[in-house]
Amino acid sequence: MPSRRFPNSRLTVSRACFPYSRGFAAAFVSWKTPVIFFTVLLVLTLPRFTPAYSPPATVSFQDIYESSRSAVVNIQGDKVDETEGAWEPGRGAKMYKGMGTGIIIDPRGYIVTNHHVIAEIRKIQVSTLDKKTYTAVLIAKDLETDLALIKITPETPLSVIKIGRASSVRVCDPVLAIGNPYGYDYTGTCGTVSGLGRDVEVDETLVYRNAIQLDVSINPGNSGGPLINAAGEMIGINVAIRQGAVGTAFAMPVDQVVAVAAKLIGEHTAKSIWHGLVVGRLDREFSDESNPTEGLLVLDVEPESPADLAGIEPMDVLLSINESPVASELDFQRAFIGLKSKSELSLDVVREEGGDADGQKKQRHFVFSLANPGYNVAKSNGMGRSRTSLAPGSTLNRADASGKIASQQGNDPVWETLGFQATPLTKEEFQRRYATFLPLYPGGVVVKSLKADSPFMTAGVRVGDVIVGMHTWSIVSQKNLVFMSEQWPDFAHQGSIRIWLLRGNKHFFQDIPVK
């Protein structure tokens, strides 16, 4: 049998042995060196390697579709055709069938959709997965974002969409859209995220800000439907397609949808109850392990409101309402649906007890009754005590009203006292970059430079951060900053001052030392 000697080796191997499956050792014909034999023996006796990591199984969008579609509804109704020539003599205006999609955000029948889906519909008809049809009523609308809140009255609780976070979305992520294109109900189409942060101008009155670009097949009737990620979470609401372009569609980020939906529900419930709480997302970058991971930050408590009289304080962290966890503004506003004046409210909060030597936070429980909103109106007309609002979004412009603003040429009191320079964002720029936070903050200033030894830099503030509030005031202009620099020495007795920041898509606060 012919044999072959490997170069630079004393090992002789039979060529005929390679086709056979009698084991690796069968290939060896002769051994000339003990060292080579020991090496081969060691390799042959090593245990089989088992990888510690196994790649995840392929995502099944079929399963996600099946589990998500029960939280999606089809919307249709007759609309007036306003195109030229649509008027018929003796019959009036021509009608056509409008259609779209909606998303269930509360089991009691509250649905969010695009406003253009239900605009001008004389009778909004909503059908659910079980083929039941309901007549919906318009609860509230937000024309600036093209969102609307409608409601049906189901016999049993409805399935609610699982909500994700816009910060989790990345380009090339796989996504699923569910909708009602051309009346073909519960159509599911898959694709990928093509881009982020797009501004889409529909017409002179409507611009979708910070939209998600998709290559998903979106058609008329998909508007108002959910965009869902591989975890089965809604990350956006499908809003538009680019006319004449193939594979280019857009969705509104879920954070903006949730914020506006929460605002609309709040406007609805405020007609019948008053609690006095103003809350915001608890998104702390500078935090410790004692902070709760889920909850809402109490930004303000209106003077003499039910919450104020019960003892709730700004900077409390709200964990639950009537034993239901509140992890978002939407959770907070949904907790008040169906409640009336004198309804009892049970709240669990975490409060930082200033007197504790160890600085621990303690959980506290409060119970109080909601008030009639008319009581709040009477107070706003001067029948009640006054207290400074903590919420930066309250637009209290103390700086402009102080009468102490210095306009000194060649002298920057902000740089000298606070140790940084900042430029105000225009309303349009703030809306474009931070549309998600508009329900909470009216504007802000972007940090351009920092002194190396300033308390702001020491505390972790960075160039590019947007300051939206300090202490109890909104910060939207240079005048606001000048005012704060003048007031700075007055805060020395309390040791620090709290500021609110936006960094990317995060919202958090930080305490700045004052000496």
DSSP letters, 422-466, are EEEPPHHHHHHH-GGGTTT-S--EEEEEE-TT-HHHHHT--TT-E
- Residue at token pair 């969102």: 147
Q: Are residues 487 and 454 in the same domain?
A: yes
Domain containing 316 equals 270-380
Model pLDDT for residues 264-283, shown as the tens digit of each residue = 999 899 888 999 898 877 76
Q: Would you state the pLDDT for residue 474?
A: 84
Q: Is 154 exposed, middle or buried (0-12, 13-18, 19+ CB in 10 A)?
A: middle
- Residue at token pair 């609690």: 275
Q: Of 250, 254, 234, nearest to 196 (Cα)?
A: 250
- Residue at token pair 């630079």: 8
Model pLDDT for residues 55-96, shown as the tens digit of each residue = 445 668 999 999 999 999 999 988 766 554 544 555 555 555
Q: Are residues 38 and 145 in the same domain?
A: no
Q: Are residues 298 and 367 in the same domain?
A: yes
- In angstroms, rounded to a whole number, what is the distance separating the alpha carbons of residues 128 and 37? 74
Residue 52 lies in a domain: no
Residue 256 lies in a domain: yes
Beta strands, E only, 167-326: 174-179, 187-201, 207-214, 226-228, 234-241, 249-253, 277-281, 296-301, 317-321, 324-325
| Six token digits for residue 51 | 């990888």
- Which residue, 268, 292, 315, sits at the end of a domain? 268
Residue 78 lies in a domain: yes
Residue 459 lies in a domain: yes
Residue 29 lies in a domain: yes
Q: Are residues 430 and 309 in the same domain?
A: no
Q: Would you state the pLDDT for residue 136?
A: 96
Q: Are residues 74 and 17 in the same domain?
A: no
Residue 408 CB neighbours (<10 A): 8
Q: Are residues 36 and 69 in the same domain?
A: no
Give me the active site residues, please: 116, 146, 223
Residue 53 lies in a domain: no
Q: Are residues 190 and 335 in the same domain?
A: no
Query: Could you tell me which residues come within 8 angstroms of residue 189 by beta carbon, excluding any fewer than 6 positions away?
Result: 176, 177, 179, 216, 217, 218
Q: Would you state the pLDDT for residue 244?
A: 63
Q: Would you state the pLDDT for residue 375?
A: 52
The number of folded domains in the chain is 4
- In angstroms, rounded to a whole number, what is the distance separating the alpha carbons of residues 195 and 214? 7
Residue 483 lies in a domain: yes
Residue 306 lies in a domain: yes
Q: Are residues 153 and 69 in the same domain?
A: yes
Q: Are residues 226 and 203 in the same domain?
A: yes
- Which residue, 380, 401, 435, sits at the end of a domain? 380
Q: Are 414 and 475 in contact (CB under 8 A)?
A: no
- In angstroms, rounded to a whole number, what is the distance separating the alpha carbons of residues 144 and 205? 8
Q: SS3 helix, strand, coil % of the chain, rounded to 5?
A: 25, 35, 45
Q: Are residues 435 and 466 in the same domain?
A: yes
Cross-strand pairs, 369 = 344
DSSP state of 494: G
- Which residue, 268, 292, 310, sits at the end of a domain? 268
Query: Could you tell me which residues come within 8 angstroms of residue 263 by beta carbon, excluding any fewer than 6 positions away?
Result: 142, 329, 333, 439
Q: Are 226 and 261 in contact (CB under 8 A)?
A: no
- In angstroms, rounded to a whole number, what is the distance separating the alpha carbons of residues 481 and 211? 32
Query: Would you give per-residue pLDDT tens digits along the chain (515 residues)?
Result: 444 443 444 433 333 333 334 343 333 334 444 444 444 443 444 444 444 434 445 668 999 999 999 999 999 988 766 554 544 555 555 555 778 999 999 999 999 999 999 998 889 999 999 999 999 999 999 998 999 999 999 999 999 999 998 888 999 999 999 999 988 999 999 999 999 989 888 887 888 888 999 999 888 899 999 999 999 999 999 997 766 667 789 999 998 999 899 999 998 998 889 998 988 777 654 344 445 457 888 877 888 889 989 999 887 889 999 999 998 889 999 999 999 989 999 999 998 765 444 557 788 999 999 988 765 443 333 333 333 343 433 333 333 333 333 333 346 889 989 999 999 998 888 877 787 777 678 889 999 888 877 889 888 888 888 999 888 788 888 999 998 988 888 888 878 888 988 887 677 788 888 87
Give me the CATH number covering residue 251. 2.40.10.120
- In angstroms, rounded to a whole number, what is the distance separating the alpha carbons of residues 499 and 515? 16
Task: Give the amino acid at 251.
Answer: A
Q: Are 114 and 147 in contact (CB under 8 A)?
A: yes
Give me the CATH number covering residue 428. 2.30.42.10
- In angstroms, rounded to a whole number, what is the distance separating the alpha carbons of residues 157 and 108? 6
Q: Are residues 431 and 456 in the same domain?
A: yes
Q: Is 508 exposed, middle or buried (0-12, 13-18, 19+ CB in 10 A)?
A: middle
| Six token digits for residue 370 | 């909601």
Q: Are residues 295 and 227 in the same domain?
A: no
CA 70 to chain centre: 22
Q: Do β-strands 92-93 and 361-369 pair in parallel, antiparallel, or remain unpaired?
A: unpaired
Using DSSP, state whether 149 is helix, strand or coil.
Answer: strand
